[in-house]
Structure 1
């Protein structure tokens, strides 16, 4: 399969301005995303004309080559033709020539891309369940419906966990700590406090409690905060006790942010 995309990869690298023109490279579900040293060196029309390329566009400080669903195979071949490939990663959001909006789009895209297949799969289960009901194969009152329904709902209810892991990988902070922080948001005791109707405070600081299941923004903000707070504690805490106290203080500080 790799041989099939070898020539396409060579042509893309050549017409993008050569490997020397590539600063960083990553890919999403359908696109190769280049950060180029000089965008003007890329022959956009020639790349569009390549057999196997759907489109080539400049967006958010990136030069994007639209490949399709087989982008991962093409990416693996392209990397072979770029010098210093060990330095190629998804740090596009750290490039100085990328706007704030471009960084935001890159972060959201990089976070959601890995979990899109799971969301699509769960959506198809929902569609299948709807067909089963339509053709009277199952009823909404049946245990079959109940079980299949919560199987498809699982990804949406626990969406903060998936986003936490994906966002942490994107922002280069601890995925395990991000999962712990997602667990704080979804802990059943937090929901009990919320539904009890009483005012809640910690050290006399009032807390506003909301339901975090199926939410997106709170966990993204949480992991974003973690990406700054965790390195801060890594810098100031001695190496001898870092393995214990960095996670401890990160969880305590970031856990109050949502």
Structure 2
């Protein structure tokens, strides 16, 4: 299968690369934010090999590919590298009302978690096999092998805030490396120990809630959204000569 050719035909059928604001993928679908959905040639798309169908969800145009969607996406971003990390919030249309709120929320969630699903699924499978082997007596929990495998499998979930931070920063249009730094600070051993002491902790006179950030998702998602809002507004007032 020539995925490069398929990618070119898909781009042409959605109205050309100039009609694409953003594109990403989940497990089975390419998800486009288009400037003008009326330019899409649905009949052409459905006639393409590997394309199983199309769907419209709010402002998002979806092309159903199946398990080969990462290969098609890679071929598309190879031709258009800017799409790999693009998050154009200034031109992306938003659906209003309650329906629009939920549509945009699910769009954000899928955009954050789709890129990190392989890591989560792989770690989950490893932990599942480990539990199975322990129950059969093939693997003892007091061995070094078990401890190393546990570190590999559990490490993804322990440091899940870091994975979510990078993906969420990209999705929300913030600096991924600043997001990485924020998530790393939340998992810093001294801070973790301080918050786990069971006493009220204060920062600049303000009480800090004792929360275990390892394995968590919601706190870092909120932090990345807030960081993106602050970053966009601060960027407007900082002179170009002072920007890094």
Instruction: Report which stretch shifted further, 221-230 or 33-42.
Output: 33-42
Residue 120 of structure 2 is matched in structure 1 by 119
TM-score (norm 2): 0.80
Instruction: Report which stretch shifted further, 7-16 or 110-119.
Output: 7-16
SS in 1 for 2:138: coil
Instruction: Report which stretch shifted further, 162-171 or 128-137.
Output: 128-137
Q: 1:236 to 1:78 in 2, by over 3 A?
A: closer
Q: Is the 8 A contact 2:159 2:215 kept in 1?
A: yes
Give the greater-gyration-radius structure (CA): 1
Matches within 5 A, 1:81-96: 90-91=86-87, 94=90, 95-96=92-93
Residue 179 of structure 2 is matched in structure 1 by 178
Distance in 2 (alpha carbons) for counterparts of 1:217 and 1:19: 37
Distance in 1 (alpha carbons) for counterparts of 2:199 and 2:106: 39
Q: 1:231, CA displacement in angstroms?
A: 3.6
Distance in 1 (alpha carbons) for counterparts of 2:197 and 2:75: 56
Unaligned residue ranges in structure 2 (runs of 5+): none
Residue 210 of structure 1 is matched in structure 2 by 211
Instruction: Report which stretch shifted further, 215-224 or 131-140.
Output: 131-140
Q: Is the 8 A contact 1:54 1:68 kept in 2?
A: yes
Q: 1:87 to 1:175 in 2, by over 3 A?
A: closer
Is 1:138 matched up with 2:134? no
TM-score (norm 1): 0.76
* Count, aligned residues: 237
Matches within 5 A, 1:158-169: 158-169=159-170
Matches within 5 A, 1:5-84: 5=3, 8-9=6-7, 11-13=9-11, 15-16=13-14, 18-19=15-16, 22-29=19-26, 30-44=28-42, 47-48=45-46, 50-75=48-73
Distance in 1 (alpha carbons) for counterparts of 2:197 and 2:179: 27
Q: Is the 8 A contact 2:52 2:64 kept in 1?
A: yes
Q: 1:146 to 1:45 in 2, by over 3 A?
A: same
Distance in 1 (alpha carbons) for counterparts of 2:207 and 2:23: 43
Q: Is the 8 A contact 2:169 2:175 kept in 1?
A: yes
Residue 256 of structure 1 is matched in structure 2 by none
Cα deviation, 1:36-66, whole Å, max 9, x if unaligned, reads 4443554546634543112211113111001
Instruction: Report which stretch shifted further, 212-221 or 37-46.
Output: 37-46
